[in-house]
Amino acid sequence: METRLRWLLIQAGLPYPEVQANLRDASARFVGRADLYYPAARLVLEFDGGNHRERLVEDNRRQNALVDAGYRLLRFTAADIHGRPGVVVAQVRAALGNRGDAGQTYVLRKTHHMPASKGASCA
C-alpha cells in the first residue's frame, strides 16, 4: 500500500519521495526508517497497514524519536488513500509548501488515478 500512496503523490504532480529511507539524528544515530521521505522538507510519510495495532507501541516510540530529531511526520491508512485521496495530496502538498493545484480533486480507482474536475466527489 505504500506503493499506492507514492503513486498517488506522483500522479498529483508532487516530487518523487525517497522510499525506505534511513533517518538519523544530529549525532548520526539511526532513529528510524521512513516508508516515504522528502529530505528537503524533512517530511516523513508513514503508511499504517493492518498490523499497525500490533506495532503501536514500537511505532509511537519511533515517531517520538523522529520528532525529537527534527523530522515532521504524516501518517496515512488505506482508508485515507482510497476514501480521501484529495485530502492526502493536500496535506502532503501543504507540508511541502507547494500548493500548485489546491482545490483539485483526485479519484483513485483500482490501478488508475486521474484528476477529476473541480467539484467532483472522491469515489
The CATH number of the domain holding residue 105 is: 3.40.960.10
Residue 38 included in any domain: yes
Residue 95 included in any domain: yes
Q: Per-residue pLDDT tens for 28-54?
A: 999 999 999 999 999 999 998 776 566
Residue 123 included in any domain: no
Cell numbers standing for residue 120: 467532483
Calculate the average pLDDT of the chain: 81
Q: What is the pLDDT of residue 56?
A: 80
Residue 121 included in any domain: no
Residue 45 included in any domain: yes
How many domains does the chain fold into?
A: 1
49 vs 110, more confident: 49
Residue 73 included in any domain: yes
When pLDDT is averaged across residues 79-94 and rounded to a whole number, the result is: 95
Residue 108 included in any domain: yes
| Domain boundaries, position 40 | 2-116
HSE-up of 110 (CA within 13 Å, CB side)?
Answer: 0
The DSSP output letter for 64 is H
Residue 9 included in any domain: yes
* 109, pLDDT greater than 70: no
- Across the chain, where does the E strand assignment appear? 18-24, 30-38, 43-47, 72-76, 105-109, 112-116
Cβ-count burial of 103 within 10 angstroms (0-12 exposed, 13-18 middle, 19+ buried)? exposed
* 119, pLDDT greater than 70: no
| pTM for the structure as a whole | 0.75
